[in-house]
Chains A and B, each alone.
Chain A
Amino acid sequence: MSTLDLIGVSKSYGITEILTSIDISLASGEFLVLLGASGCGKSTILNIIAGLLSPTSGEIRIDGKRINEVHPKNRDIAMVFQSYALYPNLTVERNIGFGLEMRGVGKAERQAAIVKVARILKIDGLLDRKPAQLSGGQRQRVAIGRALVREPKIFLFDEPLSNLDAKLRMEMRAELKRLHRMLGTTVVYVTHDQIEAMTLATRIAVMREGQIEQIGTPEEIYNRPATAFVAEFVGAPPMNMIDATLDADGLQLEGSGQRIGLPGKRGRSRQVILGLRPEDLHIADASDELVIGATVDFAEPTGPDIIVFARHGGNPLVASLPSHLQIDPESQTRFSFSIENMHIFDRATGQRIEP
């Protein structure tokens, strides 16, 4: 159980800046997910925490102690890699125990720790196999076992589930959540999969081009995205983004010219983006005040929901509706939404605005 702090951490290669002044402060037992598209610098942060890369500037602290100059093996950190990174010539048993072996832990003690971890991960029947004889899911368990057995201060996961098929990924996700509950160790987890981020994290840091766009609980990230980028990146299908002008009385949508009245008064008018999540759109009835009209292109039933693809003033509009509704192509449909589900972002800066 340890705290982790990154203070003003930057990394650049020559003039190419990979990370720009990253500040993260994790309480003991937190599960932080670094979420972002590939190339956004999230794995670089992980490698810097592990000590495999050194930051160009800034400080890394574990339990308040600066560890910039500490060798990776002395940081008491365990890392799980996307490729599993198992030693192909060693058995599962030795793979799991390798870290202990290298640290000079006695054979009997090592053996006990390996067996204990193997039981937790349900791989105790595979201990004498080589990695090549294992399935993807089993290899992933061994890789996690190798991290668990050392009882480290901090776990680092680098896209650990992205090589698994959808069903296994869901299983392992649940397993990871269970393990984190059981062990309570601080975790930093890198992924580009927002479902993983939403389900596993106690906090998510959404990253873009070497910077943290927003850091917050999954609910904050989802319900109150700080920027248009976060709003669009998190959520599937993605949030509808409609260009609009915000003035004293409300919003005027571009394309259709439709007006949406808002309570209260504002100053000068500004260019904004109106964000509406597909699941926050409903079929409007006569009494609804906040309404947006659209022409349906087609609808995709997904089982529990029906995803409606429509056009509003030339802009695409996607709505996620209950599957019992009958939606016909080319029909004119009016979607309603509530004021608390509206997200408004400044078009120039992308920052969230409270209307």
Chain B
Amino acid sequence: MVPLLLVMLSVIGWPFIDTVRLSFTDARLVGAGGDFVGAANYQRIFASTAFWRAFFVTTEFAVVSVFVEVVLGVLVALLLYQNFRGRNILRALLILPWALPTVVNALLWRLIYNPEYGALNAMLVQTGLLDDYRSWLGDPNSALVALIIADAWKNFPLVALISLAALHAVPHDIKAAAVVDGANALSRFRYVILPYLVGPLMVALILRTIEAFKVFDIIWVMTRGGPANSTRTLSILVYQEAFSFQRAGSGASLALIVTLAVTMLAVAYAALIRKSAGARF
């Protein structure tokens, strides 16, 4: 136990403590400095519009993409739960988007959204839904939505897989009993399937929300936070502050704020799970 504890303390504990220390200084990434400035970094961050804008962009990204993933995931799981020819092939294909590395997925969608030869433009123009090619990622009004779609496409399979496993856990007898009792498809979903789905879905929801709140790579590859900072999430802001502007001190403060927000999310969700687990069965 003791050696393990030492390793843990040195690789997790020390960097964390040093980040906390840094966050109260005006340290820069290179060169001199690093004087204690008290809570000045935090005060500046909470007073800045850039922080609040990034906070809302992050929240929007997380809430919308997770919502889309859960709805799409459950629907696809219900579909793949049915018995039909080719079901197993489709189930195997389902994992593909999720198995893609995030960067590959981001590059793939950048190609799809490309303003000159992107597949999305081609499809929309050829079907007459759009008059001219558009720069989906270059327009502040569409960039975030485009990112959400790309992220949801990659991550809904996780929710679908978890839901599918949960669907298979519903006892056959209970489904049969509901049929004999005269429940229609909607009632069967509401009273028989959903109770078995809620617990696993909660886990998926937590995982995905926390991940979405920390999102960095897909945005960095596709838009770098632009255009006009319309897709700059908190993690991008932390990166820019710490590395682009080389302000290690305030970068550390920002990073700690994000960490705190994610931890609060996790704690709230965990409480919710405990509550719903007690209430359900």
Which of B174, B182, B192 contacts A103 (CB under 8 A)? B182
Instruction: Decide yes or no whether A178 CB sits under 8 A from chain B.
Output: no
- B177, A85: Cβ atoms under 8 Å? yes
Nearest CB of chain B from residue A44's CB, rounded to whole Å: 13
Stretch at the interface among A29-37, A87-95, A328-336: A87-95
Instruction: Decide yes or no whether A78 CB sits under 8 A from chain B.
Output: yes
Chain B residue total in the interface (Cβ 8 A): 18
B191: chain A residues within 8 A (beta carbon): 87, 89-90, 98
- B176, A85: Cβ atoms under 8 Å? yes
- Provide the bound-state CA to CA distance between A51 and B39, in Å: 71
A88: chain B residues within 8 A (beta carbon): 174, 195, 280-281
Instruction: Decide yes or no whether B267 CB sits under 8 A from chain A.
Output: no
- A52, B183: Cβ atoms under 8 Å? no
Nearest CB of chain A from residue B122's CB, rounded to whole Å: 46
| Chief secondary structure at chain B's binding surface | helix
Q: What is the 8 Å Cβ interface bit string for chain A, positions 71-113, against chain B (1 contact, 0 not)?
A: 0111001110111111111100000001100110000000000
- A98, B280: Cβ atoms under 8 Å? no
Query: Which A-chain residue is minimally distant from B176 (CB atoms)?
Result: A52
Instruction: Decide yes or no whether B228 CB sits under 8 A from chain A.
Output: no
Instruction: Decide yes or no whether A146 CB sits under 8 A from chain B.
Output: yes
- B179, A52: Cβ atoms under 8 Å? yes
A90: chain B residues within 8 A (beta carbon): 191
- B181, A146: Cβ atoms under 8 Å? yes
B181: chain A residues within 8 A (beta carbon): 73, 98-99, 102, 146
- B195, A81: Cβ atoms under 8 Å? no
B195: chain A residues within 8 A (beta carbon): 87-89
- Provide the bound-state CA to CA distance between A314 and B176, in Å: 51
Which of A77, A85, A130 contacts B174 (CB under 8 A)? A85
- A130, B281: Cβ atoms under 8 Å? yes
Answer whether A52 and B180 are a contact pair too, CB < 8 Å, given A85-B171, A89-B281, A102-B187.
Answer: yes
Instruction: Decide yes or no whether A231 CB sits under 8 A from chain B.
Output: no
Nearest CB of chain A from residue B190's CB, rounded to whole Å: 10
Query: Which B-chain residue is minimally distant from A103 (CB atoms)?
Result: B182
- Provide the bound-state CA to CA distance between A103 and B281, in Å: 25
Instruction: Decide yes or no whether B18 CB sits under 8 A from chain A.
Output: no
B183: chain A residues within 8 A (beta carbon): 73, 98, 102
Instruction: Decide yes or no whether B173 CB sits under 8 A from chain A.
Output: yes
Within 8 A of B (CB), among A284-318: none
Answer whether A132 and B281 are a contact pair too, CB < 8 Å, given A87-B191, A102-B187, A103-B182.
Answer: yes
Q: What is the 8 Å Cβ interface bit string for chain B, positions 164-185, against chain A (1 contact, 0 not)?
A: 0000000101101111111110
Instruction: Decide yes or no whether A50 CB sits under 8 A from chain B.
Output: yes
Answer whether A83 and B180 are a contact pair too, CB < 8 Å, given A88-B195, A98-B191.
Answer: no
Query: Which B-chain residue is minimally distant from A132 (CB atoms)?
Result: B281
A99: chain B residues within 8 A (beta carbon): 180-182
- B182, A81: Cβ atoms under 8 Å? no
Nearest CB of chain B from residue A183's CB, rounded to whole Å: 18
Within 8 A of B (CB), among A40-88: 47, 50-52, 72-74, 77-79, 81-88
Within 8 A of A (CB), among B200-217: none
Nearest CB of chain A from residue B217's CB, rounded to whole Å: 39
Which of B174, B179, B182, B184 contacts A87 (CB under 8 A)? B174
B179: chain A residues within 8 A (beta carbon): 51-52, 72-73
A50: chain B residues within 8 A (beta carbon): 176, 180
Nearest CB of chain A from residue B188's CB, rounded to whole Å: 9
Nearest CB of chain B from residue A117's CB, rounded to whole Å: 14
- Provide the bound-state CA to CA distance between A232 and B174, in Å: 35
- Provide the bound-state CA to CA distance between A74 and B182, in Å: 8
Nearest CB of chain A from residue B181's CB, rounded to whole Å: 4
Within 8 A of A (CB), among B137-182: 171, 173-174, 176-182
- B176, A81: Cβ atoms under 8 Å? yes
- Provide the bound-state CA to CA distance between A351 and B182, in Å: 44
Residues of A within 8 A of B (CB): 47, 50-52, 72-74, 77-79, 81-90, 98-99, 102-103, 130-132, 146
Top 6 closest pairs, chain A to chain B, by CB: A73-B182, A85-B173, A89-B195, A99-B181, A85-B177, A81-B173
A-B contact list, 11 entries, CB within 8 Å: A52-B179, A73-B179, A81-B173, A81-B176, A87-B174, A87-B177, A88-B280, A89-B280, A89-B281, A99-B182, A131-B281
